[in-house]
Amino acid sequence: MPPKTNDHVPMTVWCTLIPPGEMGKLVEFEEELQSVNQTYEDWLVSMRGKSLIGSDSGVLLDRIRILMINIGIACAMNREAAEEIQDILSSNLRKKSLDLVSELPDKPPEKLAVKETLTAFFSELRFTRDIFPEEEIGNVTPEKVKHQGESKSMLGKLRQSTKKVDQQKVSADAVLESSNILKRIYMRLLSPDPWGDY
């Protein structure tokens, strides 16, 4: 029996690349989904042989972008299907990335600045675009961050002030952390259940 979407529309095609909750949006693109599913399988085969050692954010984003390009090719003349599938995949990758960023520490202020930088970076990241992560991250690194006051009093603990941070160090740390987050996202894409619980 073929899987069904949340909308109870029977689907003869099931593509593990698409989160189960999003399949209902693609009912009219079953033919394209077959091609995308095969493209994803081919991408998996080609990527599983590539090492993660020394892979920085730029390399990982390039590998994901290759998948996006191949999805466009798989959909042939149906640009609407390609864009819908790429949008679904991008928004879910962005959400997973931001979930991982939310787990980063808020203290001290430099760590908070890294977290704020990565939140801004991943919120705007387009996985279909060729970018230079170091440059993009450098552009969103804050000069100052809000942090808890140093006073031991109750009022002091609640008071927030701003603290200047070393932008270069924060940017470098954010680039390194972005690589760690993208490795986790990339490894999920290579797994049998990309959208399962982390």
Binned at pLDDT 50, 70 and 90, residue 198 comes out as low
Residue ranges of alpha helices (H) inside 103-166 are 109-124, 133-140, 154-158
What is the pLDDT at residue 3? 45
Q: Is residue 15 part of a domain?
A: no
Evaluate whether residue 3 is within a structural domain.
no
pLDDT of residue 73: 94
In a domain, 197, yes or no: no
Domain range for 180 is: 20-190
Distance, in Å, from the CA atom of 46 to the CA atom of 86, rounded to the nearest integer, reads 20
Give the count of domains, the chain. 1
* Cα–Cα distance for residue pair 86/18, rounded to 1 Å: 10
- Asked whether the beta carbons of 68 and 125 are under 8 A apart, the reply is no
Average pLDDT over residues 176-181: 96
Q: What is the C-alpha to C-alpha distance for residues 93 and 127, in angstroms, rounded to an integer?
A: 8
- Distance between CA 67 and CA 83 in Å, rounded? 13
Reading the block at residue 145, the tokens are 């961050």
The band of 49, judged by pLDDT with boundaries at 50, 70 and 90, is confident
In order, the DSSP letters of 28-87 are GGHHHHHHHHHHHHHHHHHHHTS--TT--HHHHHHHHHHHHHHHHHHTTT-HHHHHHHHH
Cα separation of 4 and 6, whole Å?
A: 7
- Would residue 92 count as lying in a domain? yes
**pLDDT tops 90 at residue 76:** no
- Residue 5 falls within a domain, yes or no? no
Asked whether residue 177 is domain-assigned, the answer is: yes
Does residue 198 sit within a domain? no
- Where b means 16+ CB within 10 Å and e means fewer, 146-181 reads ebeeeeeeeeeeeeeeeeebeeeebbbbbbebbbeb
> Does some domain include residue 195?
no
Instruction: Look at residue 195 and tell me whether its pLDDT is greater than 60.
Output: yes
pLDDT digits (tens, 9 = 90+) for 124-163: 999 999 999 999 999 998 887 776 555 455 554 555 567 7
State how far the Cα of 80 lies from the Cα of 128, in Å rounded to an integer: 15
Across the chain, what does the average pLDDT equal? 86
Which band of pLDDT confidence, cut at 50, 70 and 90, is reported for residue 115?
very high
The pLDDT value recorded for residue 145 is 75
